[in-house]
């Protein structure tokens, strides 16, 4: 499936959530003016993960999280989460011991 051109949205303030269920109250109030979706990071069972999400009413937008990870003694690596639509969440993690050092949302759509 072809996607519309992708816009890079500036990284927003990180919302750190330490739990198995994600809460996005802080992230929801920090949406970028250039688009409806936002990125965030959280730690679940010691694994640093980046995610992206769109609020209700943004079903025309597709989004994915892009994050760069660092680990001692390793080269940094950048990973892209799966494209998601609407209010679905996109996640990416490099695994145990890797830490998110930067993240942003790529999004396309016309809502």
Q: Is residue 2 part of a domain?
A: no
Average pLDDT (6-19) is: 37
Could you tell me if residue 43 is inside a domain? yes
Q: pLDDT confidence of 34, banded at 50, 70, 90?
A: low
Q: What is the DSSP letter of 26?
A: H
Number of domains in the chain: 1
- The answer to the question of residue 1 being in a domain is no
Give the pTM.
0.66
What average pLDDT does range 47-73 have in this prediction?
Answer: 91
In the chain, where does DSSP find H-type helix?
Answer: 25-28
CA–CA gap between residue 99 and residue 93 (Å, rounded) = 9
- Average of per-residue pLDDT across 25-36: 43
Does residue 87 belong to any structural domain of this protein? yes
What's residue 55's pLDDT?
A: 86
Residue 94, in any domain of the structure? yes
For residue 11, the enclosing domain spans 7-20+29-109
Residues contacting 25, CB < 8 A, separation 6+: none
CB 9 within 8 A of CB 27: no
Mean pLDDT of the chain, nearest integer: 75
Instruction: Band the pLDDT of 64: cuts 50, 70, 90.
Output: very high
Cα separation, 78 vs 66, whole angstroms: 7
Residue 95, in any domain of the structure: yes
């Amino acid at each position: 499936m072809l996607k519309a051109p992708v816009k890079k949205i500036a990284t927003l303030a990180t919302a750190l959530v330490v739990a198995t269920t994600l809460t996005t109250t802080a992230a929801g109030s920090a949406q970028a003016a250039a688009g409806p979706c936002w990125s965030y990071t959280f730690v679940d069972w010691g694994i640093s993960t980046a995610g992206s999400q769109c609020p209700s009413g943004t079903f025309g937008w597709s989004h994915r999280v892009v994050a760069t990870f660092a680990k001692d003694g390793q080269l940094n690596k950048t990973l892209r989460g799966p494209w998601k639509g609407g209010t679905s969440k996109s996640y990416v993690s490099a695994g145990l011991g890797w830490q998110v050092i930067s993240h942003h949302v790529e999004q396309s759509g016309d809502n």
